[in-house]
Amino acid sequence: MTTNTERVDYAPPTPKVIADVLHAPGPRPSRAGSVSTSLTFGHRALLKIKHVPEQLFDVTMFPIMFILMFTYLFGGALAGSPREYVQFLLPGILVQTVVMITMYTGLTINKDIEKGVFDRFRSLPIWRPSPLVGALLGDVVRYTLASIIVMLVGMAIGFRPSGGLVGVVLSIVLLLAFSFSLSWIWTMLALLLRTEQAVMGVSMFILFPLTFASNIFVDPATMPGWLQAFVNVNPISHIVTAIRGLMGGSLEFADLAAVGIWCAVFIAIFGPLSMRLYNRKS
């Protein structure tokens, strides 16, 4: 059985037709601004989570595991009971959980680069940093979800913030701002290193000393002098102390100022470096 297909030849458009289309009556659509394009790429990051919900495993199971493990493992030895220890520990675990999650920003960006997705973004007439900023904004949603889970689990096992709801909300907002700033480091690494495994290895090498050599688990006064010197300048220690103050109903102005300075430093240094590496890949 044979079928006959009729071939249709379409004439190429003439210059006049092209000119008529390009100069069609009516106002020309305005070029997308930096905010709208960044939000669009942020929405793209959320769509990736929607289609691959397994990506939320780190922001759901890790917080629960960290709180239960450290509270009941160290609580009796360090504070006499897990319920007493969780009052001190939970603000620190909140910081550790979200900060550890920030490294996945670099992994995601590196994966997109390897797949050639960012090559397509560079060809678009948009604000150049918007794909990177949008990816970071999308991850802020993941950080928020992790923060909520930490607080709910903490409340379930006995944590009671003296600062009330206002103190908790301010603490989470401060942590989100800090995490957004810190994520620029992993963004730079994603653009600098060639493989996803390399990004993860370097990120963990940086994060482990920052989180464990801090005041998350114990008072630095119990540490040797040389270690105290590092802990006292560690940005993680400043954010933990500031959040403990907010959740306790007080304002630690020195630590809040230190957190603001660290955020500005992270963005001022690693933001331009990331954009320089991004542009060099063009």
Q: What is the pLDDT of residues 109-118, one digit of tens each?
A: 888 888 888 7
Q: Is residue 7 part of a domain?
A: no
Position 243 scores a pLDDT of 96
Decide if pLDDT at 55 tops 90.
no
Q: Could you count the other beta carbons within 10 Å of the beta carbon of residue 221?
A: 8
Determine, yes or no, domain membership for 8.
no
The residue segments making up the domain with residue 142 are 33-280
Stated as kind and residue range, the H or E segment containing 205 is helix 196-212
Residue type, 131: P
Mean pLDDT of the chain: 86
Measure the CA–CA gap between 4 and 178, rounded to whole angstroms: 67
Considering only residues 149 and 47, tell me which one the structure prediction assigns the higher pLDDT: 149
Evaluate if residue 169 carries a pLDDT over 70: yes
Give the Cα separation of 20 and 189 in Å (integer): 47
| Range 141-169 average pLDDT | 92
Distances (CA, A) of 238 to 147, 203, 224, 270: 18, 20, 19, 20
Report d(CA 237, CA 252) in Å as an integer.
12
pLDDT tens, residue by residue, 186-245 = 999 998 988 888 999 999 999 999 999 999 999 998 899 999 999 999 999 999 999 999
- Report how far apart, in Å, the C-alpha atoms of 138 and of each of 79, 123, 217, 278 are: 38, 22, 30, 19
Q: Does pLDDT of 48 surpass 60?
A: yes
- Both tokens of residue 246? 């907010």
Helical segments of 81-195, H only: 82-101, 103-115, 117-122, 130-156, 164-192
Report how far Cα 57 is from the mean position of its chain's Cα atoms: 15
CA 114/CA 232 separation, integer angstroms = 39
Q: pLDDT at position 6, please? A: 54
Domains in the chain: how many in total? Answer: 1
Question: Tokens representing 122?
Answer: 């560079």
Domain assignment present for 17: no
Residue 101 placed within a domain: yes
With respect to residue 263, please indicate whether it lies within any of the assigned structural domains.
yes
Lowest mean pLDDT across 24-28, 84-88, 242-246, 250-254: 24-28
Residue 155 burial (C-beta neighbours within 10 Å; 0-12, 13-18, 19+): middle
Give the pLDDT confidence score for residue 25 in this predicted structure. Answer: 67
Query: What pLDDT is stored for residue 153 in this prediction?
Result: 92
What pLDDT score was predicted for residue 265? Answer: 96
Q: How far is CA 51 from the centre of its chain?
A: 19
Please report whether residue 73 resides in a domain.
Answer: yes
**Which comes out higher in pLDDT, residue 5 or 190?**
190
Q: What is the pLDDT of residue 8?
A: 54
Residues 232-279 have pLDDT tens digits of 999 999 999 999 999 999 888 999 999 999 999 999 999 999 988 888
User: Is 123 inside a domain boundary?
Assistant: yes
Q: What is the pLDDT of residue 106?
A: 85
Is residue 247 situated within a structural domain?
A: yes
